[in-house]
Amino acid sequence: MFSKKNLSPAIAAPTSGFRAPEALMRVLSNPYAGAGAAAGLFVITLLIVIALIGDPSASSPVVRLSLAKISSDAAPEGWREALADGSAKPTVTEDIFRLSETPIGAEDAMGQATITVAGGQAFHAADPLPPAPLAGFHVQGPSGPLPVIAANGKTPAEAYARPFVSNGRPKVALVIGGLGLNATATRQAIDNLPPEITLSFVPYSDGLQGWIDLARAAGHEVLLETPMEPSDYPDNDPGPYTLMAGAPGPETVKKLEWVLSRATGYFGVTNYLGSRFLTSDIGMNAFAGALRGRGLAFVDDGQAARRGGGVPRASALRIIDEQLSDQAIDQQLLAIEAGALQHGQALGSGFAYPVTLSQVAKWAESVESRGYQLAPASALTQRR
């Protein structure tokens, strides 16, 4: 314990030059004073090093993400589960970019999304599509939300499609389907494929809306798969809400509306199977009429290429993975390029097999360097 008596020599030190070293030694011999001096010396040294070599994190990748086109609400709970490995169901619905404990504020949400990497090279990240549902494009149906044409005449097909501007080159597009049932494959498609690739989801998927939200947040437009009767039904049964070729029109519409009410955010539907249903005039008339009334597009795998219906339409030129090998898929992708060169545009479809996802990701990296423009499927639709 210190007292005034012990401090008196130190106070008197300025009157005698011979006592200064002794006083200094007493101070330094104090363990508290020694520790404080060491800490101060460390801080001074650290500041000198930073001044000489700069910010040690300056060469690390820097991410600046634009949130201007997505909701400014706080990130919902459950994103950790949605992004975790395994089969966890996705629950994130608004903003998958808010992955830190401190969400990006509104002051950072303006401007174009930019990712800066070491060396100063920068590239633009895909803008996320607006979170669904958009106001004015749905009503509540018996089983869930149903798409409707907005009061100003704009359709869900227009509102939920990925924006696209043609550069005059032949357009190539792909639809990758069967998503939502296998978490690993679905995450791989969303994360690894470029946003121009259109993704289609199985209506029976658990957590379907969460998957669609994740896909749209990554820039992908979305289709909803409609199970249709195949020629070998019931041996090949697409499920309880399969559209049947011989069913009355109201029954077809009722089943279709159940499929449509499973989620929001899709610009249209695509067929799952359907070799028999797609040849039925009765069935297809009811189907097309329901889509037309709700402002949706229909993109098929090539089996309905001759069908119209008065809705935005596109048909696949090739199914790229009927044979599951690298070489076979590459050949089909080249055939799509050839079709685009001949007709100005071409669409392919495939399933979320691991080999398909791998080959499509590789193909997409170089297709534009060969003179084509990668486009979303909606950009190839035409009303017929």
- pLDDT at residue 107 in the model: 30
By DSSP bridging, strand 373-374 and strand 171-179 are: parallel
Q: Label residue 219 by pLDDT band (50, 70, 90).
A: very high
Whether 152 and 217 map to the same domain: the answer is yes
Tokens coding 207? 């957590």
Residue at which a domain ends, from 126, 157, 186: 126
Whether 67 and 186 map to the same domain: the answer is no
How many domains are contained in the chain?
3
Whether 33 and 110 map to the same domain: the answer is no
Residue at which a domain ends, from 126, 145, 170: 126
Closest CA to 70 of 37, 106, 34, 23: 106
Closest CA to 175 of 313, 324, 322, 349: 349
Q: Label residue 42 by pLDDT band (50, 70, 90).
A: low
Whether 255 and 107 map to the same domain: the answer is no
Q: Label residue 39 by pLDDT band (50, 70, 90).
A: low
- Does the pLDDT at position 343 exceed 80? yes
Whether 248 and 286 map to the same domain: the answer is yes
Whether 153 and 31 map to the same domain: the answer is no
Q: Peptide bond before 354: cis, by omega within 30 degrees of 0? A: no
- pLDDT at residue 34 in the model: 54
Q: State the number of CA atoms in the 13 A half-sphere of 174 facing the CB.
A: 31
Q: Looking only at Cα atoms, what is the longest distance across the chain?
A: 114
Rounded Cα distance between 367 and 173, Å, is: 11
- pLDDT at residue 127 in the model: 87
- pLDDT at residue 121 in the model: 32
Residue at which a domain ends, from 126, 149, 164: 126
- pLDDT at residue 154 in the model: 98
Whether 113 and 196 map to the same domain: the answer is no
For the chain, the average pLDDT equals 78
- Does the pLDDT at position 46 exceed 70? no
Q: Could you tell me which residues come within 8 angstroms of residue 226 by beta carbon, excluding any fewer than 6 positions away? A: 203, 243, 256, 259, 269, 270, 271, 272, 274, 287
Stretch 366-375: mean pLDDT: 98
Tokens coding 222? 């979305």
Q: Label residue 3 by pLDDT band (50, 70, 90).
A: very low
**Whole-prediction pTM:** 0.70
Q: Label residue 37 by pLDDT band (50, 70, 90).
A: low
- Does the pLDDT at position 376 exceed 80? yes
Whether 18 and 41 map to the same domain: the answer is yes
Q: Label residue 76 by pLDDT band (50, 70, 90).
A: very low
Candidate from 2-6, 176-180, 232-236, 293-297 with smallest mean pLDDT: 2-6
- pLDDT at residue 33 in the model: 52
- pLDDT at residue 56 in the model: 41
- pLDDT at residue 74 in the model: 36
Whether 157 and 244 map to the same domain: the answer is yes
Stretch 83-93: mean pLDDT: 38
Per residue in 108-127, pLDDT (tens digit) is 333 334 333 333 333 334 68
Name residue, tokens 């289609």: 200
Share of the chain above pLDDT 70, in %: 67
- Does the pLDDT at position 77 exceed 80? no
Whether 289 and 351 map to the same domain: the answer is yes
Whether 237 and 98 map to the same domain: the answer is no
CB 247 within 8 A of CB 283: yes
Domain extent at residue 66? 57-126
- Does the pLDDT at position 24 exceed 90? no
Rounded Cα distance between 319 and 50, Å, is: 58
- Does the pLDDT at position 278 exceed 80? yes
User: CATH number, domain at 226?
Assistant: 3.20.20.370
Whether 185 and 65 map to the same domain: the answer is no
Q: State the number of CA atoms in the 13 A half-sphere of 360 facing the CB.
A: 34
